[in-house]
Each structure stands twice: as structure tokens, then as C-alpha cells.
């Protein structure tokens, strides 16, 4: 016997009918509209089409939320409300992280099932996603707001990452990095979904004709490029001076290390371990 779910249900606790769209919950959340936005029973090309639509629609909603929150962060940064901006960036990061697990639900759809759904998608492209476009646009606003804040405080980005630099700006920059990394992790999760569903290869064309391979390059495109570049800059100006030279003894205890270290210690002839057999730490 097949259970029927499209008819209103009587809730014995409430003693009311749920599903008619008349209750406060249903009115406020517009559930009659929301739940009618997926292909109905008998309209689906295959059972998993509901899963496909729900995941896509949910992801659009999360992207909408993340984008609106990013707009608020811009206003907060411009108003110098760094704590509020920080709390909101944490929220955006959590949204994006939850989207990664949500994407994994769609991985339970097998490739053969997707081949059926694919026939109803026209030439749709992921680039047409409003949420994706909104978030990238909002991230541009965030990047500009960070630049304004740095200019106002008279600090170059590299100086933020220099000893004695402003802690509050450093925390902010790291939170923007968290958001960016979470966004790229989402794109990576999408890449793996695509890979196991239609394959990633030069011969695999998306519905808009693009080879699915392009995703490999796009998924690491950052939202806040300068924050990634500054790390490259810091490493480029890194110097060995002041550190420990390669092969040098550390606290005269080089012998404690594995083979390569023990050999270096033997060559250096550490007096503290003059009588030790080599390599002593390799058991
Ligand atoms: C089985 C499911 C999916 C398949 C086979 C698939 C396939 C693809 C392919 C081949 C592309 C690259 C070509 C193009 O831009 O159209 C793409 C891009 C994209 N897809 Fe999907 N996708 C799936 C699920 C999703 C979901 C759940 C979302 C969530 C909103 C999504 C969002 C996007 C976005 C935003 C892009 C553009 C990414 C970029 O250009 O870096 N896709 N998808």
C-alpha cells in the first residue's frame, strides 16, 4: 500500500488540520507556495527528481542568505562595527560549510538516474545560478570594504600580517579567509559530485557545451584574491636568517631523531652523546 502525503493531515495534539495552508505557521512561512515549487507526484521524470530539485532549491536559499549577510557585513565594516561583522562572517562560514554536507546528499543519486533528469534541464548552466552570482557580487563588495577599512586605518595588508600588526584587522582578514575557504570547499564538493555523476573529462560536455573539466580550474578561484596573494608575498620575502640552519643541532639532541638526523648528529659529533650507539632512537 502506498502512503498518501499530499492530502492535509489531522494533528491530534493541535486538533487541527495541517496542510491546508490556514495555520499561522503555514501562513508565515508560505508553506503552500514553498511546497508546491517542486514537480508534483506523477509529474516527476524519475523518483529522484524531488531530491535533485530540493537540494538545488535549498542551496539557492542558503546562497541567498549568505549573500544578504555579506551585504550586511559591508555596512558593518563601513560603520566600524567589527564585532558585528565578525559574528556575521562566522554565520556565513557556517552556512557554506553546511552546504557542503547538503551537496553530499545529492551524491546518493546514481549516474543512470541523472541521465534521465538531465533530459529535462534544457541548456541550463550552473553559471546561471542566481545565488552563485549574488554571492560573488557580494564578495566583491566585501573586498572593497576591507580595502576602505585598511585605508582608513592607514595599514597595508602585508603589515596586518607582520608582528605587532593590528590584531582586530588580522582576525577580520582570517575570518574572510575562512569564508573564502568554505566557499571553495563547496565548489570542490560540487566538483566531486559532478565527477561521480557525469565524469570530468575533456569529452564530457555540460548542457551549455562547456567541458566539465573547466570546473577543476574554477573551483580554486578565490573570493578575496588579495588575502591569498599576501601569503605568497610573505613567503617570497621570507629569509632563513635568524632560524636554525639545515642539519644544525637542536639543543644538542640531534641523536633523538630518526636516521637522517642521527647521521647529521654523527657527522657533527655531538659531545653530549659521544658514547651513544647510532642511531639510538630507531627502535
Ligand atoms: C548532479 C548534479 C550536478 C551536476 C551534474 C552538475 C554539473 C555541472 C557542470 C557540468 C558545470 C560546469 C558547466 C556549467 O557551468 O554549466 C556546473 C557548474 C555549476 N554548478 Fe552544477 N551540477 C550539479 C549540481 C549542482 C548543485 C546542487 C548546485 C547548487 C546550486 C550547482 C551549482 C553550480 C554552479 C554555481 C556552477 C558554476 C560553477 C563555476 O563555474 O565555477 N550544481 N555544474
Q: What domains can you pick out in the chain, each with its CATH number?
A: 49-117+126-234 (1.20.58.480)
218 lines ligand 1 (CB under 6 A): yes
Q: Which residue has the higher pLDDT, 280 or 122?
A: 122
Give pLDDT, residue 270.
Answer: 59
Residues sharing a CB contact under 8 Å with residue 156, sequence separation 6 or more, in sequence order: 150
**Taking a C-beta distance cutoff of 8 angstroms, is the pair 67, 134 a contact?**
yes
Give the nearest ligand 1 atom to 215 CA: 41
169 lines ligand 1 (CB under 6 A): no
Mean pLDDT of 143-172: 97
Taking the centre of ligand 1 as the mean of its atom positions, its distance from the CA of residue 53, in whole angstroms, is 13
CB atoms within 10 A of CB 271: 7
Q: If you average pLDDT over every residue of the chain, what do you get?
A: 91
Give the nearest ligand 1 atom to 127 CA: 37
Taking the centre of ligand 1 as the mean of its atom positions, its distance from the CA of residue 49, in whole angstroms, is 16
> pLDDT per residue over 24-55, tens digit each?
999 999 999 999 999 998 999 999 999 999 99
d(CA 81, CA 145): 12
Q: Which of 87, 86, 85, 34 is nearest to 61 (CA)?
A: 34
Confidence of residue 178 (pLDDT cuts 50, 70, 90): very high
> pLDDT per residue over 210-263, tens digit each?
899 999 999 999 999 999 999 999 999 999 998 998 888 886 555 555 555 556
Taking the centre of ligand 1 as the mean of its atom positions, its distance from the CA of residue 78, in whole angstroms, is 34
Give pLDDT, residue 264.
Answer: 60
Residues sharing a CB contact under 8 Å with residue 157, sequence separation 6 or more, in sequence order: 150, 173, 226, 227, 230
Give the nearest ligand 1 atom to 56 CA: 27
> pLDDT per residue over 263-282, tens digit each?
665 666 655 554 444 444 44
Amino acid at each position: 500500500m502506498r502512503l498518501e502525503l499530499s492530502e492535509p493531515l489531522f494533528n491530534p495534539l493541535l486538533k487541527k488540520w495541517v496542510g491546508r495552508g490556514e495555520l499561522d505557521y503555514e501562513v508565515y512561512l508560505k508553506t503552500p507556495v514553498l511546497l508546491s515549487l517542486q514537480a508534483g507526484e506523477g509529474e516527476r521524470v524519475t523518483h529522484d527528481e524531488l531530491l535533485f530539485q530540493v537540494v538545488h532549491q535549498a542551496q539557492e536559499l542558503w546562497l541567498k542568505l549568505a549573500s544578504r549577510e555579506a551585504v550586511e557585513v559591508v555596512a558593518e565594516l563601513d560603520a566600524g562595527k567589527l564585532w558585528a561583522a565578525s559574528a556575521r562572517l562566522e554565520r556565513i562560514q557556517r552556512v557554506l560549510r553546511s552546504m557542503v554536507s547538503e551537496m553530499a546528499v545529492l551524491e546518493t543519486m546514481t549516474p543512470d538516474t541523472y541521465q534521465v533528469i538531465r533530459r529535462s534541464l534544457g541548456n541550463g548552466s550552473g553559471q546561471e545560478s542566481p545565488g552563485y552570482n549574488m554571492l560573488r557580487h557580494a564578495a566583491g563588495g566585501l573586498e572593497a570594504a576591507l580595502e576602505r577599512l585598511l585605508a582608513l586605518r592607514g595599514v597595508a595588508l602585508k603589515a596586518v600580517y607582520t608582528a605587532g600588526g593590528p590584531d582586530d584587522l588580522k582576525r577580520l582578514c582570517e575570518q574572510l579567509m575562512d569564508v573564502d575557504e568554505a566557499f571553495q570547499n563547496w565548489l570542490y564538493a560540487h566538483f566531486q559530485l559532478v565527477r561521480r555523476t557525469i565524469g570530468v573529462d575533456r569529452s564530457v560536455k555540460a548542457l551549455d557545451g562547456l567541458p566539465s573539466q573547466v570546473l577543476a580550474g574554477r573551483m580554486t578561484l578565490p573570493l578575496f584574491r588579495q588575502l591569498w596573494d599576501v601569503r605568497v608575498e610573505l613567503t617570497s620575502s621570507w629569509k632563513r636568517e635568524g632560524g636554525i640552519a639545515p642539519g644544525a643541532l637542536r639543543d644538542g639532541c640531534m641523536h633523538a631523531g630518526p636516521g637522517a638526523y642521527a647521521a647529521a648528529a654523527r657527522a657533527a659529533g655531538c659531545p653530549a652523546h659521544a658514547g651513544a650507539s647510532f642511531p639510538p632512537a630507531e627502535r
